[in-house]
Amino acid sequence: MTFIDDQDKVTPYTFQQVDKITNQVANALKADGMKYGDCIALMMDNKPEFVFSWLGVAKAGGITALINTNLSSKSLLHSFVTSKATRFIIGSEHLKVVDDLRQEIKNSDNPETQIVSNGKYYIEGTNAPGYLSFDSFIEKQPPHLIGGFPPERNGSHPLLYIYTSGTTGLPKASIITNLRLAMPGIAFTNTYRIQPTDIYYCSLPFYHSSATLICLSASWYSGAKLVFRRKFSASKFWKDCIKCNCTVAQYIGELCHYLLERPPAQEDKAHGVRMMIGNGMRSNIWEKFKERFNVKQIGEFYAATEGPAAIFNGMDKTGAIGYVPKILMRILDGVPLIKYDVENDEILKDEKGFCIRCKPGEVGQFVTVIDPLKGSEFRGYTNKEATEKKILRDVFKKGDMWYLSGDLLKMDKDGFFYFVDRIGDTFRWKGENVSTGEVELTISDFPGINEVNVYGVRMPNTSGRAGMASIVVEDLSLFDFKKFYDYTNEKLPSYAVPLFLRFPKSIEVTGTLKHLKAAKREEGFNPDIVKDPMYFIDKDAKTYIPLTKETYLSITQKKAKL
């Protein structure tokens, strides 16, 4: 593997070097009293030490909780507590946020919090009071693994805890077994024909499943070289690929959009990347991206960190997130989409009490059978209650179990699947379901718009939610609200036209470049709370007008036309 740091220094590591260093980590942890099955929490940016750490923990028979580096305070404490870790490996870049947390909980009388407070902390890259030096900790250890691999370890043994994004609540720790790490590597290598001669570029955070379960796993299984950068940089993405001769690259969320937003440059087509693999590529930029950057194939897929299965678009079908051939559909006894009532937030059942499969073109919740005999196992989360919420029983027959994705998809007649929305993001207005994803696609094609995030906001004394489009524009003073009104009313159903427009300087995203929606929904449209410029639809004038305090009162007092 090869690491590119913040100063663009390139450092290669051979398999032998990684093997020796991870042996040293394992030896050091065991010498320090770590027992088989213990959990170590790891909070670090993409660095070689990140990989060394969790591989070393695995060799010692432990489990590593990969902590989201964007967390702080209560969310960070929650992740530490739910991991049940007693040891913590911290990158020096996160020393302050961890130190602040330790001071905050120092005198806590909560037993769970005390475990975090009293744990052993190793700091990588520096020295600090109250921390053991990670570098000094391992450097005196021999490069061979003392005692060999734990004999108890097998494919079903927990290897990692990878946390969900926590966009709808506190993060949940997904259980990743040894087999669960290997399976994506096999699937992605075979689906996208990754070769030992390929060089795989990753700028996504290793705490996320896309980087660890796909990039790392696929490179190890295929024999391809992995090149990774500490953090994603749109300006350095293609430069890195050119410098390291990369042939495959990983994307997620809005990454490809950010690359397209960059000014045209010589390196746009000077690289050798033949394929981009990931999820979240919008259909309206799919072909633009391939054309501008001379990328031959987009390898879009659909999966969840904790999910028991995935679907792949290995045919580069624009906009499709996956494909299920008819023969596999027969094995599954039909389309893995079930009818869902968005307004009442419930799964629809037939007269016998079983779920109803969707027909081609119908929107439904994606489900996956849970059956170890079919290679579909769901280990869920460390929290048993959270695990049970993702399992639906007696779905199509008595005794069966299916995993609930929480996502709304639709399938065409040929077996290609398309993402519609996340349950909770789709909202009801005027008795109709509004897909935030579809509205975003339409609005993003309007001239002068750089980025858009759509969500529903609650209206007083009104059922459902009204559409809010949070838009980043090149120049708000030049934005034509009249033309935008005409455009949205022409392109969208009347119930999907946003009532509110908000103009932030940038769209807030998660650590994996996905739009934040839940927090924005809660902010609503009150000008005393939202400081960004906001506008409200004026149906009489066929335009949008500034949302002042007077306008806000008119809306809340039900005087404004909706």
List domains and CATH numbers for the chain.
14-153 (3.40.50.980), 176-316 (3.40.50.12780), 324-421 (2.30.38.10), 425-556 (3.30.300.30)
548: which 2 tokens?
Answer: 């002042």
Interatomic CA distance for residues 64 and 26, integer angstroms: 12
Following DSSP, what letter does each residue of 357-425 receive, concatenated? BPPTT-EEEEEEE-BGGGTB----BSSHHHHHHTEEESSSSTT-EEEEEEEEEEE-TTSEEEEEEETTT
The better pLDDT of the pair 327, 93 is held by 93
Express each pLDDT in 496-518 by its tens digit: 999 999 999 999 988 778 888 88
pLDDT grade for 73, boundaries at 50, 70 and 90 = confident
Residue reference for tokens 């609200």: 481
Express each pLDDT in 95-146 by its tens digit: 999 999 999 888 888 888 988 988 999 999 899 999 999 999 899 999 999 9
Q: How many CB atoms lie within 10 A of CB 157?
A: 16
Using CA atoms in the order 333, 337, 338, 342, what is the torsion angle rounded to 10 degrees? 180
Closest listed residue to residue 419, CA positions, set 281, 275, 257, 326: 281
pLDDT of residue 403: 95
Percent of the chain past pLDDT 90, that is, above it, reads 75
Closest listed residue to residue 297, CA positions, set 413, 198, 212: 198
Q: Is the pTM of this model over 0.75?
A: yes
450: which 2 tokens?
Answer: 């750089």
Residue 34 sits at the vertex; the CA angle it makes with 28 and 38, to the nearest 5 degrees, is: 130
pLDDT of residue 167: 47
Contacts of 103 (CB under 8 A, 6+ apart): none
Assess whether pLDDT exceeds 80 at residue 463: no
| Identity of the amino acid at 313 | N
